[in-house]
Amino acid sequence: MRKYLLSLPILILGSIFSLHAATSSTEDLSTIFQKLNGYEEMILTTNLDSLVLNKKKGVYQTAKLVVKGKNQDQLEMEISIKARGKFRRRTCGLPPIKFNFAKSDLKAMGLVKNYDKLKLVTHCENEKDYEQHVLKEYWAYKMFNTITEDSYRVKLFKITYIHEAAPSRTIQSYAILLENSQELAERLGGDIVPQTYGITPDQTTTTSFDQTIFFNYMIGNTDWALNVQRNLTLIQKDGEQKYTVIPYDFDQSKLVDAPYLTKSPLIKEMKEDNRHAIERLSSEEALQALTALFKEHKTQFKTYKKCPYLKKKIKGEITSYLYSFFLDLGDKRGLRSELLAAR
C-alpha cells in the first residue's frame, strides 16, 4: 500500500485569501460554500487507503472535516466523501474529491440544504511541485472570474489530510473548493441544462461562447468541447432561449502545465504554447471586442503575483506565458487566421 507523506512546511494563510474570497449574492452565508468561504485552513480525516483503493469505483466513505479561519470559530462536521472526476481519478495518486454534507446538518446550521455537494480539486501527486499546479489552476479560475460573473466561484484552502487509522500519516498541500453547480445556476438566475450531446454554437449565447473560446485560447486549454459538453456547464437563464456556457477544469491547460498534459484528439499536432482554437469566434466584431476586454483586464490577471504560496519561478513562468498571449493580440492577421478561419 502506498503511504502518502508530503513534507511541506506548515504555512499560515494570510490576507491574500480574503482579498480573493468569492463574494456572495447574499450576506447571510446561506449556503455551505458561502459559509466555508470565510475560512482558510481545512483538515480532512478519513481512511486514505480506501479512498485511493476505491478511487475508480467512486464509493462514499465517512470523513471528518475541520475548517479554521482567522477570527472564526473552528467548524467541525461529519461528512461523506468519494473520489470523483474522470482523467484525474484514473491518473492521480490522490484523486479529486466530492464532499457530501448531510442535508439535516445544513438545515440545522441554517443553510440551504439542496447545495449539499461540493467538488474539491486536489494536488494529484506528492512530488514534483504538484501543489504548485493546484495554485496555478486556482488562478486560472480567478482570471476567468475577472472577465465575467458567469463563472464558477472558487476558494483556495491550505489542507491537511489525516489517515484516521494512523494520525501521524498526513499530507499537507493546497486544494480548490468549487461552487455548487445548482448554486451557480440560481445565482445567475437560471437552470442547469442536463448533459446533452450535439449542442451547437447557435444554441448558446454568443457572448458566453466567444468568451469561453478566447479564454481557453489564452490559457492554452484544449480539454473542452461543446458538442459533448466536456468541461462545460450550460445554464439556461430565465427568459433566455439560448444557453450560457461556463467552462471549468483547467488542469490540462498550458498555463497550469501539469506533467500529465496531453494532446487533445481535436488537434493534429500540439504547439509549444498549446494555443489552439477548438472552436471559432462568431465574428470579426467579437474578436475586436474580446481583444479590448482582455487588454482591459491585463492588470487584474496579474493578481497572482501577490500570492505568497506561488514560487518565484512559477510566477515568472505564468508571466511569460501570458506575455506571449498579449503579444499575439498585436498580430491581427494571425489571430484572425486562428480564431475566425473556417474549419
Least confident of 127-136, 157-166, 198-207: 127-136
3-state secondary structure 263-294: CCCCCCCCCCCCCCCCCCCCCHHHHHHHHHHH
Each residue's pLDDT tens digit, 96-154: 999 999 999 999 999 999 999 999 999 999 887 899 999 999 999 999 999 999 999 99
* CA 33 – CA 87 distance, rounded (Å): 25
pLDDT score for 38: 93
Query: Average pLDDT, stretch 297-317?
Result: 97
For residue 325, pLDDT over 80 is answered with yes
Query: What is the grid cell recorded at 208?
Result: 458566453
The answer to whether 250 touches 219, Cβ cutoff 8 Å, is: yes
pTM score over 0.75: yes
The mean pLDDT value of the chain amounts to 91
Give the residue carrying C-alpha cell 472564526.
72
E strands, the chain, are 41-46, 61-68, 75-83, 97-100, 117-121, 154-163, 170-178, 190-192, 232-237, 244-247
CB atoms within 10 A of CB 205: 19
pLDDT category of residue 19 using cuts at 50, 70 and 90 = very low
* CA 271 – CA 330 distance, rounded (Å): 19
The answer to whether 249 touches 217, Cβ cutoff 8 Å, is: no
Each residue's pLDDT tens digit, 41-68: 999 999 999 999 999 888 999 999 999 9
Of 320, 210, 314, 222, nearest in space to 275 by CA: 222
Each residue's pLDDT tens digit, 223-267: 999 999 999 999 999 999 999 999 999 999 999 999 999 989 889
Q: Where are the domains of the chain?
A: 16-185, 188-339
* CA 119 – CA 180 distance, rounded (Å): 7
Percent of the chain past pLDDT 70, that is, above it, reads 91
3-state secondary structure 33-101: HHHHCCCCEEEEEECHHHHHHCCCCCCCEEEEEEEECCCCCCEEEEEEEEECCCHHHHHCCECCEEEEC
* CA 105 – CA 100 distance, rounded (Å): 11
* CA 235 – CA 56 distance, rounded (Å): 29
pLDDT score for 341: 78
Amino acid letter, 199: I
CB neighbours of 124 closer than 8 A, spacing ≥ 6? 88, 91, 92, 93, 94, 130, 133, 134, 258, 260
